[in-house]
Amino acid sequence: MFPFSYTNASSLQEALDHGQRGGRYIAGGTTLVDLMRETVERPDELVDISGLPLTEITMTPRGGLRIGALARMADVAAEPKVRNTYPVISQALELSASAQLRNMATIGGNIMQRTRCAYFRDVSADCNKRLPGSGCAALHGYNRTHAILGTSESCVCTHPSDLAVALAALEAVVHLVGPDGERDVALTDFLLLPGGTPHREHAVRPGELIAAVEIPAHPRPLRSGYLKVRDRQSYEFALTSAAVALHIRGGVIRAAKVAAGGVGTVPWKLTAVEDHLIGRRRSPQLWSAAADLATEGARPLDHNRFKIDLLKRTVERQLLIVGGTE
């Protein structure tokens, strides 16, 4: 671990002041400390924001849900407002990490967590994300767990968060506060495709801090759920996952919110799947036909070709689980 200074921010303003001068925000620390130990991350200054009052979970006047950035994963998963309105959020959280980690890690940190790519985490390997211009060892290396969607020659790693997949499906918005005030960015715009600059992972401006995530109101009733496929049954990242939320009236799908995880360089919103579902009557054939559109544009690597089939099947299964049949 490289030496660093540590400041415990007692107010939002104090945090922003330090952040503007290059301080790195730390809350649960479950990613950052890990990466500091591996010397992947070498911040000069840590600004501890875990004492700031950003933990509230509230229903918005319009019927959406606002989750404070410092709410802990475990608390959000257990919150009745979340469980009742967006089970997909609770399920994504509860299928993440371990109980111990969920007790520490926060919602903001979960979105900001960095990739699990083994080459990114091994400082002796080439990685454009860690060291721009050094190359991507995963592109022709061992890439079984890597992305098939949104990749570039520079980077093929996945965004590891399950929560972010559910949030992407539900078209969540990230509330940022910074030296120049507050602003909102859609989650799908907030997390950036790697392109030629994989070291740029998100739209945070210097000194900005995530204050909350807001899920807009969706038509009700909304059935939703999260399916995660992985080698072992707990405490592992997804090979593939699917977040599905459906509003069905009279057997016809009126609204569909679908995203996939474990397959994209960012949480992958499946708009083609959604479009295919809207206005159609639910049936096994529909789930299958819609799921076939999940892999549009997918580019497999040497060891992850199976993810193309697996993704389709994951989406199909979860459409069936959430949407059922007549």
Partner 1 sequence: MTQQPHRAVVGTDQPRVDGRLKVTGKARYAADHGPAEGVDGIVHAVLVESSIGRGRITGIDTRAAENLPGVLRVIHHGNAPRLPYRDNPFPDSINPPGERLRAFQDDLVRFFGEPVGVVVATTLEVARHAARLVEVTYDVELPVVDLSRAPADEPETYARGDADTAWEAAEVHLEMTYRMSRNHHNAMEPHAIIARWQGERLTVWDKTQWVADPRNELAAVFGIPREAVRCLSPFVGGAFGNGGRTWVHSAIAALAAREVRRPVKLVLTRRQQYFTAGFRPGYEYTMRVGSDRRGRITAMVHDVRGESSRYERHSDDLSIGRMLYAIPHVRQAVRHVPLDISTPTWMRGPGWSSAAYTIESALDELAHELEIDPIELRMRNEPTQDPATGQPFSTRRLRECYDVGAREFGWHRRNPTPGVARDGDWLIGMGMAAGAYMTERAAAQAHVRLDANGTAVVQSATSDIGPGTHTSMTQVAADALGLPMGAVEFRLGDTALPPAPIQALAWTMASVGSAVQDACDRLRRRAIALAVDDERSPLHGVDPDDVAVERGRMHARDDPSRGETYRQLLARNNRPFLGLTGSYNPEESRFSMYAYSAIFAEVAVDARLGLVRVRRMLGVFDAGRIINPRLADSQALGGMIGGISQALLEHTVTDHRDGRIVNANLADYLVPVNADIPDMRAIYVDSVDDKADPIGVKGLGEIVIVGVAPAVANAVFNATGRRIRDLPITPEALLGL
**Residues near partner 1, by CB under 8 A:** 1-3, 39, 116, 118-119, 121-122, 124-125, 137, 140-142, 229, 231-236, 239, 306, 309-310, 313-314, 317
Distance of closest approach, residue 232 Cβ to partner 1, in angstroms: 5
Torsion sign, CA atoms 3, 99, 48, 31: positive
Rounded to the nearest 10°, the torsion over CA 100, 109, 164, 99 is 0
CB of 186 to partner 1, least distance (A): 30
Find the shortest distance in angstroms from Cβ 159 to partner 1.
Answer: 16
Decide whether 49 or 260 has the Cβ nearer to partner 1: 260
Angle, CA of 233, 76 and 150, to the nearest 5°: 60
Least Å distance between CB 141 and partner 1?
Answer: 5
Nearer to partner 1, 74 or 320 (CB): 320
Interatomic CA distance for residues 218 and 193, integer angstroms: 27
Nearer to partner 1 by C-beta: 188 or 314? Answer: 314
Please state, as a whole number, how many other Cβ atoms lie within 10 Å of the Cβ of residue 177. 21
- Closest contact distance (angstroms) between CB of 216 and partner 1 is 31
Q: Which of 316, 311, 324, 317 is nearest to 291 (CA)?
A: 316
162/208 with CB nearer partner 1: 162
User: Under 8 Å CB-to-CB from 99, ≥6 apart: which residues?
Assistant: 74
Measured from the CB atom, the residue of 118 and 289 that comes closer to partner 1 is 118
- State the nearest-atom distance from the C-beta of 53 to partner 1, in Å: 33
Calculate Rg over the CA atoms of the chain. 19
Nearer to partner 1, 3 or 80 (CB): 3
Q: How far is the CB of 37 from partner 1 (least distance, A)?
A: 8
The owner of tokens 């193309």 is: 308
185 burial level (CB within 10 Å; 0-12, 13-18, 19+) = middle
Task: Please give the single-letter amino acid code of residue 93.
Answer: L
Closest to partner 1 by CB, 9 or 244: 244
Q: Is the Cα torsion angle 132, 137, 139, 140 positive or negative in sign?
A: positive
